[in-house]
A and B are shown apart, each in its own frame.
Chain A
Amino acid sequence: MRRAALLVGMMLAFAPALCAAPLQALAQQDAPEQLPENIQIGLSTNRVTITSDFSGADLTIFGAIDNADPQISRQGGYDVIVVLEGPAQPLVIWRRARILGVWVNAQSQSFVNVPLSYSVATTRAPQDITNPDSYKRLSLGPAYIYLQPEDRAGDAATIAEFTAALRERKLAVGLYSENIGGVQFLSQTLFRATLNLPPNVPVGTHKARAFLFRNGEFMKETSSSLAIVKAGFEQTVYRTAHEQSFLYGLFAVAIAMLTGWMGRLIFRKD
């Protein structure tokens, strides 16, 4: 599979980081209190186009930590998690059971607002960054993201079972993914995140979010949006199929007959 590297990052975060350094030194002289850390990411484009040769891609996002404490940086106390969350949709998950030897859809659970895709990059293994409680509170990571059942008053054990199954299925088809070590520090404050866009990445508005942790404690979050769209031809086909569906059908039939006739002319053997 050819993987195109889409460079969406930018260095905008550099400037504040550099400006902040002398200020910070000044502040430290006046008072031992340090300015709170902040995290920034920048996208040089807000649109990724899916062309006909698209077969998945790596998305690179650059970002920086402002007001980083150099001592904590040196000790590796800062951790960053970057998430690319796809558009949300309602969905149903079925549990299959054997009836008279045949596997049938037996029981279902509906969920609302489930992100179609969810790709995560982290500096370290998730359990080394912070504890499960903070992940749950932040609804962060494929294992902890909150999936809202349609019927919230339903049996808690059933909901938990289907939620776990939903996460497992999404991970199995590559729509949810986790890239441990996908965020790398290029300097004490500048980082680069590499996220995976699967070949079946859904089109629509995706949300890029970055979370900053200091010694296991959540500090700050920032987000930015990214549109994933089909390229001209693909978009035209899709729009025609939905807006002029009868004409599209006629066209599909005509293409088929033309192809059949051409094939007859080219491969005529009798």
Chain B
Amino acid sequence: MGIYLPIAEMSVNIFVLLAMGAAVGFLSGMFGVGGGFLITPLLIFYNIPPAIAVATGANQVIASSFSGTLAHLKRGTVDIKLGLVLLAGGVVGSSIGAYVFAILRSFGQLDLAISLLYVVFLGTVGGLMLIESLNAIRQARAGGTPALKKSGQHNWILRLPLKMRFRASKLFVSVIPVLGLGAGIGFLAAIMGVGGGFIMVPALIYLLKVPTNVVIGTSLFHIMFTTAYTTLVQSTLNQTVDIVLAFLLMVGGVAGAQYGAKMGQRLRGDQLRALLAALVLAVALRLAFDMFAAPGSAYLIASPDGS
């Protein structure tokens, strides 16, 4: 069944979009990532113009991350204070990112920059996480204790001044790395059109040593705000948010997210991390393949403003 998208100005299959939303929503609920790094490439693959895919993907992620945040709030697995400090950095970072986005676009090399960023970040994050989680799984099988959180092993980053206590995460760290992390992720999120959960989750675990059960709720809480901010900026500056497209993805997404969250609770932390790492690596490899493989046509039509 076809439906006409008023902003993308094209007709698409309604069931394909619902299924796409449900699949991404399931993964989003399970891993505590917004799913932006999956939905945006999927939409582009489905011939939605990249500018609309980026902005609409952000809008869709609000719904699944809001729904996921509510579930985690009820279980008390959100560190609201940590989320708000990350957000403060994030707003600054994404504002700078939106500016750099416009510069890259004017050079006609935005597509390449986005692909490169995706491959580099997804590849690095996915690779590191996969190695770590496989080691943890092996240790757990051998009967050893998980070595993730060792007290007294805090590195120099956490010993910077301006310390702050985050009760829910059982942390007492400097706010400088927290703000910096938020800003860095906000910057990448604006350029790549994602919430940044796939970077946030491992960064909270490995850099700030936040307990895994709190990480997912806090990440969703943070993503909800960054994607809301991105949606507002994109619709005001570029008018590229397609509300009909976003709504169809959301309906599939919120349903999928609830089941995903339930599935996530059944798996152990290290297993979850290994699965997320495999997924992130798969997307990175797919994008790298597109960058190196010969395109179907050597020519590409673009509009004069580079979008």
A→B interface (CB under 8 Å): 1-2, 50-56, 89-97, 101-105, 108, 110, 162, 165-166, 168-170, 172, 199-200, 202-203, 230, 233-235, 237-238, 241-242, 245-246, 248-253, 255-257, 259-264, 266-270
Give the docked Cα–Cα distance between A5 and B185 (Å). Answer: 51
- In the bound complex, CA of A158 to CA of B74 (Å): 63
Residues of B within 8 A of A108 (CB): 108, 302
> B303 near A241 (CB under 8 angstroms)?
no
Asked whether, in the complex, the Cβ of B7 is within 8 Å of the Cβ of A238, the reply is yes
Q: Is the CB of A252 within 8 A of B64?
A: no
A94 to chain B, nearest CB (A): 5
The winner among A52, A97, A103, A166 for most chain B CB atoms within 10 A is A103
CB of B292 within 8 A of CB of A92, answer: no
Taking a contact as CB atoms under 8 Å apart, the answer to whether A92 and B304 are in contact is yes
Interface residues of B (CB under 8 A from A): 1-4, 6-7, 9-11, 59-60, 62-67, 70-71, 74-75, 108-109, 111-112, 228, 231-237, 239, 241, 243-244, 246-247, 250-251, 253-255, 257-259, 261-262, 291-295, 297-304, 306
Instruction: Specify which of A55, A56, A245 is in contact with B235 (CB 8 Å cutoff).
Output: A245
When distances are taken between beta carbons in the complex, the residues of chain B under 8 Å from A266 are 255
Task: Check A264–B243 contact: CB distance below 8 A.
Answer: no
Complex Cα–Cα for A166 and B300 (A)? 8
Contact A237 B6 (CB under 8 A): yes
Task: Across the A-B interface, give the 9 residue pairs with the lowest CB-CB distance, nearest first.
Answer: A263-B254, A249-B235, A55-B2, A260-B66, A256-B62, A199-B11, A260-B67, A267-B258, A165-B299
Q: Is the CB of B6 within 8 A of A250?
A: no
A71 smallest CB distance to B (angstroms)? 47
Contact status B2-A91, CB under 8 Å: no
Question: CA–CA, A257 to B10, complex, Å?
Answer: 26
Chain A residues with CB under 8 Å of B300's CB are 93-94, 96, 105, 169
Which of A200, A262, A264 is most buried by chain B, counting CB atoms within 10 A of its CB?
A: A264
Q: When A246-B236, A251-B243 are in contact, do A267 and B112 touch as well, CB less than 8 Å?
A: no
Does A245 contact B299, Cβ atoms closer than 8 Å? no
Determine which residue in A172, A245, A246, A261 has the highest number of CB atoms from chain B within 10 A of its CB, and name it.
A245
| Chain A, Cβ-Cβ closest to B240 | A241
Given known pairs A91-B302, A103-B294, the reply for A267 and B254 (CB within 8 Å) is yes
**25 A-B residue pairs with CB within 8 Å:** A53-B1, A53-B4, A54-B2, A55-B2, A91-B302, A94-B108, A103-B294, A104-B109, A105-B108, A105-B300, A108-B302, A110-B304, A237-B243, A241-B239, A251-B243, A252-B243, A253-B59, A256-B60, A256-B228, A259-B250, A259-B251, A260-B250, A263-B255, A269-B258, A270-B75
Given contacts A199-B2, A253-B232, contact A263 B257 (CB under 8 A): yes
